[in-house]
Amino acid sequence: MNLTSDTVAILKNFSDINQNILVKPGNKIQTISTLKNILAEAEITEKFDQEFAIYDLPEFLRAIDLFDKSDLNFNGGQNLVIKDNNSKQSIKYFFADKSVVVAPTKSINMPDKFITFTLSKDNLAKLMRGVNTLNLPDIAVKGDGKTLSIVAVDKKTPSNDYSISLGDTDKTFTAYFKTENMKMIPDDYDVAISQQKISHFISKGKPIQYWIAIEPDSEF
């Protein structure tokens, strides 16, 4: 099996969320953060025939990168062999016991949507540049009854903020996210926010979606 560049990119993104992963048979992969506040799910072109767990996903991806064109050979056992068809190199890579990895146990059924909007790839990139430039720990999606905006802030202390207007709204609310939880692959997203303190980000260009917890002090 050869992993496509898109699949490798998704796995690298997943490794930012959780360094463990449990892969189940089929073409759908999931991960969940150790604090259970981010769940990500993607459909990939490859189809796995067996369940296996990787304890250190960044290491596994580095192992794949050792080869110009890696080929993954599963044998149904407790390891796989990574090799390059154009060389004599190979790696026997052992799976972890699935009991030691943090993995999703169920899917999320998104509650009623309080507000929906589109977050463009460009606005997402600008937002994260603002976060990094001003070193801001929080992100707020806000409605004041007229304007819907997304703002990088420090909600605990008066400080600089960075705001992007997203459009019009008749709703008044503030939904807070931790900046560290905004780990989506750069893309355009359809976003839904629920009063049940959960959000849903669906990529418009890639088969990937994220459910991200909203902070308890959010107001609706």
Residue 89 confidence class, pLDDT cut points 50, 70, 90: confident
Residue 101 pLDDT > 90 = yes
Q: What is the pLDDT of residues 166-218, one digit of tens each?
A: 999 999 999 999 999 999 999 999 999 999 999 999 999 999 999 999 999 99
Residue among 137, 133, 167, 171 nearest 150 (CA): 167
* CA distance linking residue 118 with residue 203, whole number of Å: 10
User: Taking 80 as the threshold, does the pLDDT of residue 85 lie above it?
Assistant: no
CA distances from 11 to 43, 119, 175 (A): 11, 23, 28
* Structural domains of the chain ordered from first start: 5-100 (3.70.10.10), 115-213 (3.70.10.10)
pTM for the structure as a whole: 0.94
- The whole-chain average pLDDT of the chain stands at 95
Please tell me the predicted confidence (pLDDT) of residue 75.
87
- pLDDT confidence of residue 29: 97
**pLDDT attached to residue 84:** 85
Percent of the chain whose pLDDT exceeds 70: 100
- The pLDDT of residue 180: 96
Task: Tell me, rounded to whole angstroms, the distance of Cα 67 from its chain centroid.
Answer: 26
Residue written as token pair 């070193």: 135
State how far the Cα of 27 lies from the Cα of 88, in Å rounded to an integer.
29
130-168 tens-digit pLDDT: 999 999 999 999 999 999 999 999 999 888 999 999 999
